[in-house]
Structure 1
Amino acid sequence: MKLPIVAYGDPVLKKVADNIDQDYKELKSLIDNMFETMYAASGVGLAAPQVGLPIRLFVVDASPFAEDEEGLKDFKKVFINPVIDEETGEKWDFNEGCLSIPDIRENVSRHRDLKISYYDESFELKKEAFTGLAARVIQHEYDHIQGKLFTDRINPLRKTMLRGKLDAISKGAVKVDYKMKFPLQRKKR
């Protein structure tokens, strides 16, 4: 089932998410729905706060970047209660976007490498290292469960210049091909 994606301005996107356990209600169904929602919106990652749930869960599928970087052909993963243990390597800029902030893309600087601990969909503990675009996608989604958006990582002057567009998104004044929930959209009478 496709879930509505929460738009910029909703408080859930600024909240540090809570850990869950393996008994979280309908976890498998939620994960399946998040992948379906992400694919329908042509995304490469989706965090639970983006569908209105303040929990430490995100899904990624970086296979659309397979032509740009080796090793991403089947890069589809579920991250539950993740903790970034280390971010290293040279920082590099990449033009990022976000399903919760449609029609805005900005260069964001992130570390090239990371080590992360997390539980997979079977609640098996994993400790892995990622680099390049895989690391970037994970860092972007990890930010979501930490209450951060990619716009929090751009130059403050640039963010000020985007204020009007960001406010318009909060009010629903944006066209998207997927279902969204807008925090400041006026109810139609």
Structure 2
Amino acid sequence: MAILSVIQLGDGRLRSPVRPIHDLDDPQLQCLIDDLLTTAAAQNGVGIAAPQVAEGLQLFIVASRPNPRYPHAPTMEPVAMINPHILSHSDDRVKGWEGCLSVPGQRGFVPRYREIEVSYLDRHGDEHQHYLRDFVARIFQHEYDHLQGKVFLDRIEHPDDILTEAEYQKRFG
């Protein structure tokens, strides 16, 4: 398992369309999943999407756990989500602070749906359908945006909703 290089905002591959995954038995795909899990942990990420490592595939990891970037994150087992979909969402949205491994040094106060119903395939090809809430729903939506060629900055509603990481830590850290 390797720590992959995360591409940064400005690299066109971050904004490019992605392809669905059809061959879940492909050893390269299974290796990519392992590498994404390793990279997210090494970078203190709570999620990472394949486009962030220049792979145009419908794949991301949701791996919530307390770490220096998100000390109050809930703990969950990391999950690879393949060909994910948002099936439904709550009417209410809530703003929360987000960062991104591809947008280093910045945080944004981003509105997201509080609750979502999702479906995805796991790394073994088993289909899952879950309701996600709060922080884990936020992670899913953030990573799902990467599959659409979006980053959290695209969802900012007001210029005051963007801070440097240093200012964020001073105010909220």
Deviations 1:40-87 (A, max 9, x none): 111110000000011100011112289847xx4234211000011112
What is the aligned residue count? 160
Q: Which runs of 4+ in 1 moved over 3 A?
A: 65-69, 156-159
Deviations 1:92-135 (A, max 9, x none): 11010000000000100001000111100111111111111110
Larger Rg: 1
Q: Residue in 1 aligned with 2:88?
A: 86
Q: Which moved more, 1:121-130 or 1:60-69?
A: 60-69
Instruction: After TM superposition, give the deviation of residue 157 of structure 1 in Å.
Output: 4.5
Q: Does the 8 A contact of 2:37 with 2:78 survive in 1?
A: no
Is 1:18 equivalent to 2:23 in the alignment?
Answer: no
Cα distance in structure 2, aligned partners of 1:67 and 1:38: 15
Cα distance in structure 2, aligned partners of 1:5 and 1:80: 19
Cα distance in structure 2, aligned partners of 1:33 and 1:117: 23
Alignment gaps of 5+ in structure 2 = 165-173
Cα distance in structure 1, aligned partners of 2:65 and 2:158: 32
Overall identity of the aligned pairs, in %: 36
Alignment RMSD (CA, Å): 2.3
Q: Residue in 2 aligned with 1:61?
A: 63
Cα distance in structure 2, aligned partners of 1:92 and 1:126: 25
**Greater RCO (Cα-Cα under 8 Å, separation 6 or more):** 1
Alignment gaps of 5+ in structure 1 = 166-189
Cα distance in structure 1, aligned partners of 2:58 and 2:10: 19
Say if 1:133 and 1:75 are closer, same or farther in 2 by CA, change over 3 A: farther
Instruction: After TM superposition, give the deviation of residue 156 of structure 1 in Å.
Output: 6.2
* Matched AA of 1:60: V
Structure 1 length normalisation: TM-score? 0.77
Cα distance in structure 2, aligned partners of 1:37 and 1:67: 18
Deviations 1:141-178 (A, max 9, x none): 0000111100000136569x99xx9xxxxxxxxxxxxx
Q: Residue in 1 aligned with 2:9?
A: 8
Cα distance in structure 1, aligned partners of 2:71 and 2:15: 33
